[in-house]
Structure 1
Amino acid sequence: MRAQAVDHLSLLPLYAAAGTVVLVLLADLLIGRRFVAGTLALGGLATGVCAIVTGSRAGTFCAPDGTACSWVPSPLAATAAVVFAALTVGVLALSVPSLRLGTAPAGEYCFLLAASMTGGVVVGYAGDLITLIVGLETLTLPLYLLVGLRRFAPGERATTSAASASVTFFLISVVSTAIALLGAALNYAATGALHLDRLIAGAGLTAPVADVGVALLVIGLAFKVAAVPLHAWAPPTYEGSPLPIAAYLSTASKLGGVLALAAIVVRLDAAELTAVLAILTMTVGNLVALRQTRIVRLLAWSSIAQAGYILAPLALGADGLRAAAAYAVFFVVLEFIAFAVVTALRPPGADGGLLDSYRGAARRSPWLGAALVLALAGLAGLPPGLAGLFAKVTIVDALIDHGQTWLAFVVALNAVVALAYYVRVAALLYTPPTRVGIPVADPDLLDAALHPRRPVTRPVAAALIAAALVAVALGFAPQLLFDALS
């Protein structure tokens, strides 16, 4: 039987993303580092446009009979590619203050970001286990180096923290990838299937080897979303990373893990395991977040809890995919806003600092405070963060409609627990700040007292405004996202 021709139009998002990697490298080598950021920004925009233009074309790299394709365009894949491209451009904008200082390696930084974006695009369109895992590793591998790029931050402690975070992230990620590969190998040995479309038929064999393979796949991929008990790497890694990279880890990297995990659990029987992971993840994340005193660690534990909310509808299999995907998009937009505000309030190259250093921040910078309140309210599922409210309602509604009322109750209970730390941070923003005349021992508090209002660079402001507008638009018209995913 004759092999089918490759549909190059379906591959346009991949061509745009991979071409961006090459162009960034060439711009750094031949033109100069002043142009690499612009090249990456244009490449990210081109990737998003190509994903929108191609839409839901037929798959390519298919079997001779036209089934079981390795590259499968879909509304979810196109939406994911647009989100990955937008997050890459947004993180680049947050990184501009550090890149302008000349202490950040602009060429390497932009090259690694572009490579990670390419991996994210591949994950969204992957139609078989090999493409899925390769795409996920392409998304993750550059982040090992980007996490360690905080060597240019002031102070020896920052350098040590960055190196430790990078090594921790690398070692745990390697172990999780090995577990996922072992699961894929066992599943193939039992079913003879690698393509995701054929995993449905293969799952019916229910051989013990296949069951073990499915469990290992889910456990290995759960690392990417920082699901409990594979969550311990996230808080120290976020804390040790440059703030823009912490934002990328918490949004794009987590979105890639969600897409990979969803590709497995909607086709194979892993409902019980996914439900257990969801309950543990949201509960542990919220309880530990209550005790945090540093803003990045609080956002890290919060993102772990949010991953639990995303996993909950995935326990329904294919019936919960749309709700989980919608919640993931709502989450990454709100999480990006939170990290963008933290980046705007901190000096270039610094970490997130203590929560107390944000005391009175909304009084000094009202619009930044309003943006952070919008993000925190959305993550908590409260007005004015209507996007987050609709996301939580979507998940609870999907669980109740499919008879999982007990799991919907656990989600609602955890949402109530999370209110405690979200409201605490929001209230702190409007608390009277520490006065300069009062002795302050902690350097974070001293810096906040001496520099009550920092100028916000135009790229950071533009990224923050764009993300806030998207959050507001999705809050008032969430159907736009649901239509894009349909």
Structure 2
Amino acid sequence: MIDHVALLPAYLAGATAVLVLLVELLLARPGAVLLSGVLGAAATAVAAALAARGPARGTFCGAGGCSYVLDDRAALVAALFALLALGVLGLSAGHLRAGAVPPGEYCFLLACSMTGGVALAGARDLILLIVALETLTLPLYILVGLRRRTAAGAMAPSADAAVTFFVVSVVATSVTLLGAALLYAGTGAVRFAPLAATLADGPPAPLLPLTRVGVVLVLAGLAFKVAAVPFHAWAPATYDGAPLPVAAYLSTASKVGGVVAILAVVTGAFRPALDVAGPVLAALAVLTMTVGNLVALRQRRMVRLLAWSSVAQAGYILAPFGAFAAAAGRTGDALAAAVAAAIAYTVFYVVMELGAFAAVTALRPPDADGGDLADYRAAARRSPWVGAALVLALVGLAGLPPGLAGLFAKVAVVRALLAGGAGWLAVIVALNAVIGLAYYVRVAALLYAPADPRPAALPATAPSPAEPHAVEPPSTRPAWPVAAAVGTTALLAVLVGFAPQIVLAFAGR
């Protein structure tokens, strides 16, 4: 029996993609296409939020439990994916108006990816989990490659970025599928509940190594979605080559998808195997945060810096999972604290990262890429409100006041690690947070630095050198949906910074 109410958010997300196609076919107006996508994403978010207030509902059920469950946490995750799509559509208004991307294909692919995220929220078996993740990821290959030319008219690197993303993603998916196949061979189950029961009872001795390898492979494949080292190589080139709104969606929705998937399998299917999953995730967390921060120190392009920062942030998100092995031998409260810290950090990160990309999008021309860091010199002097929003996002990612949300997120992670008996990992998190201050503060200071006093470049036909003058790029006024996205994310950052208990209370449920 199929529970259609449980599937209502997924239905609405899929209907949004169909609606966009029909509007593009019948009206062929970018504004109408964008409006239909916005309305569909908003309806999906509202339906998912309303579903969170009711009892848990399951569908595709059998003797071993249900493959899809819509409970309060799944409904709110689905609403988060819909809101992310809504925000990215707002950031895309300038790109669609300038003709930088085709509106019909762009909004359709974004709606398809949103559908995958909504389905992922309630997945309770390995097959549905992998299918939902691929539905979330597959449209992104094409979205990354939609920007064909830069603002200067040169060929954009988006095609190379899309190919890199595709190749690495296919390998990661193959690894995940291999791990799921080994687990099915060793336990005979793909639903989380019977899989966890079989692992708790202990599979036959000859099949025990098979199941352990399966656990490691599934976690390794899912680590790709959060750009964890050594599965991170796709992120910098892909973010830098994609249109800025697509890079914003990649750095938030894709990471949320990976975190939700890892959280689901570790706390559901792999809970009896925490002695295997914990060390794997701890090693991934240490490598990810350290490599991400060290390489970010050397970046000279804004989007690449945000990409490597995103890699480092993934390490902080994975760190509480690394305490699972120690927590398993202690108390259930320590394990619950680790899960709550990972969820809370993910929410705080999404708000800050989306705010950073929104401000960067507002500061750049609609058809331009992220540019070099030098392009942002004195940007806060030319656009005070947008510059302040970018600084708030950067200091929040660094964990400095007034970005209190980032500070509370890091404190929650460190407390969870100490409660789980992983003090050594808490020390590494603290050291990496200090390293991250260097590049976040450097960029924030550059925004308020005086304009570059060097002489401007002269045309080749100039008869004589001109007098040196300050390089002051003209201020570009963003489209109102972009300005609205900047203001909304900044407001959310302030709200969760002064009232973090809103997020922490939900994460601890």
After TM superposition, the score normalised by the length of structure 1 is 0.94
Other-structure match for 1:331: 349
Q: Of residues 353, 365, 368 in structure 1, which corresponds to 2:386?
A: 368
CA contact (8 A) 1:387 1:474 kept: yes
- Check 1:64–1:147 CA distance in 2 against 1; reply closer, same or farther (3 A cut): closer
Query: Deviation per CA, 1:373-398, whole angstroms, max 9, x where unpaired?
Result: 11011101111111111111111111
User: Deviation at 1:294?
Assistant: 0.6
Other-structure match for 1:60: 58
User: Deviation at 1:438?
Assistant: 4.3
CA contact (8 A) 2:94 2:478 kept: no
Other-structure match for 1:128: 125
Select between 393-402 and 109-118 the one with higher mean Cα deviation.
Answer: 393-402
User: Deviation at 1:18?
Assistant: 1.0
Other-structure match for 2:173: 177
Q: Of residues 285, 289, 295 in structure 2, which corresponds to 1:288?
A: 295
Cα distance between partner residues in 1 of 2:314 and 2:350: 11
Other-structure match for 2:320: 313
Other-structure match for 2:197: 201
Matched, 1:86 2:93: no
Other-structure match for 2:8: 12
Alignment of 1:332-351 (within 5 A): 332-351=350-369
User: Deviation at 1:457?
Assistant: 1.4
Matched, 1:477 2:499: yes
User: Deviation at 1:321?
Assistant: 1.7
Other-structure match for 2:462: none
User: Deviation at 1:125?
Assistant: 1.0
Other-structure match for 2:104: 107
Bigger-Rg structure (1/2): 2
Matched, 1:396 2:392: no
Between the two proteins, what is the percent identity of the paired residues? 58
Cα distance between partner residues in 1 of 2:104 and 2:436: 40
Cα distance between partner residues in 1 of 2:450 and 2:71: 50
Other-structure match for 1:467: 489
Cα distance between partner residues in 1 of 2:41 and 2:280: 36
User: Deviation at 1:79?
Assistant: 2.2
Query: Deviation per CA, 1:221-255, whole angstroms, max 9, x where unpaired?
Result: 11111100011110001010001101111011111
Q: Of residues 273, 276, 285 in structure 1, which corresponds to 2:280?
A: 273
User: Deviation at 1:449?
Assistant: 3.4
Query: Deviation per CA, 1:313-332, whole angstroms, max 9, x where unpaired?
Result: 12234532221111111101
Other-structure match for 1:72: 69
User: Which amino acid in structure 1 is aligned with residue 394 of structure 2?
Assistant: L
Alignment of 1:440-451 (within 5 A): 449=471, 451=473
User: Which amino acid in structure 2 is aligned with residue 219 of structure 1?
Assistant: A
CA contact (8 A) 1:59 1:70 kept: no
CA contact (8 A) 2:455 2:471 kept: no
Other-structure match for 1:218: 219
Select between 135-144 and 199-208 the one with higher mean Cα deviation.
Answer: 199-208
Alignment of 1:118-197 (within 5 A): 118-155=115-152, 157-159=154-156, 161-197=157-193
Query: Deviation per CA, 1:391-416, whole angstroms, max 9, x where unpaired?
Result: 11111111111211111111111101
User: Which amino acid in structure 2 is aligned with residue 244 of structure 1?
Assistant: P
User: Deviation at 1:203?
Assistant: 2.1
Select between 378-387 and 31-40 the one with higher mean Cα deviation.
Answer: 31-40
CA contact (8 A) 1:265 1:315 kept: no
User: Deviation at 1:157?
Assistant: 4.4
User: Which amino acid in structure 1 is aligned with residue 59 of structure 2?
Assistant: F
Other-structure match for 2:444: 426
Query: Deviation per CA, 1:431-455, whole angstroms, max 9, x where unpaired?
Result: 10124744489xxxx9x93533111
Q: How many residues align?
A: 475
User: Which amino acid in structure 2 is aligned with residue 101 of structure 1?
Assistant: A
Give unmatched runs, 5+ long, in structure 1.
none
Cα distance between partner residues in 2 of 1:407 and 1:291: 25
Cα distance between partner residues in 1 of 2:225 and 2:308: 14
Cα distance between partner residues in 1 of 2:110 and 2:166: 17
CA contact (8 A) 1:118 1:139 kept: yes
Cα distance between partner residues in 1 of 2:151 and 2:443: 26
In structure 2, the residue corresponding to 1:60 is in which secondary structure? Answer: strand
CA contact (8 A) 1:79 1:484 kept: no
Q: Of residues 477, 482, 486 in structure 2, which corresponds to 1:455?
A: 477
Give unmatched runs, 5+ long, in structure 2.
325-334, 460-467
Other-structure match for 1:246: 247
Other-structure match for 2:331: none
Cα distance between partner residues in 1 of 2:347 and 2:494: 13
Structure 1 segments, 4+ long, off by >3 Å, are 62-65, 152-158, 435-441
Query: Deviation per CA, 1:313-364, whole angstroms, max 9, x where unpaired?
Result: 1223453222111111110110011111111111112111111111111111
In structure 2, the residue corresponding to 1:72 is in which secondary structure? Answer: strand
In structure 2, the residue corresponding to 1:69 is in which secondary structure? Answer: strand
- Check 1:210–1:154 CA distance in 2 against 1; reply closer, same or farther (3 A cut): same
User: Deviation at 1:99?
Assistant: 0.6
User: Which amino acid in structure 1 is aligned with residue 400 of structure 2?
Assistant: L
User: Which amino acid in structure 2 is aligned with residue 271 of structure 1?
Assistant: G
User: Deviation at 1:305?
Assistant: 0.3
Alignment of 1:21-60 (within 5 A): 21-33=17-29, 34-55=31-52, 57-60=55-58
User: Which amino acid in structure 2 is aligned with residue 470 of structure 1?
Assistant: L
Matched, 1:258 2:259: yes
Matched, 1:353 2:371: yes
User: Deviation at 1:456?
Assistant: 1.9
User: Deviation at 1:200?
Assistant: 1.6
CA contact (8 A) 2:451 2:472 kept: no
**How large is the RMSD of aligned CA atoms in angstroms?**
1.8
User: Deviation at 1:158?
Assistant: 3.9
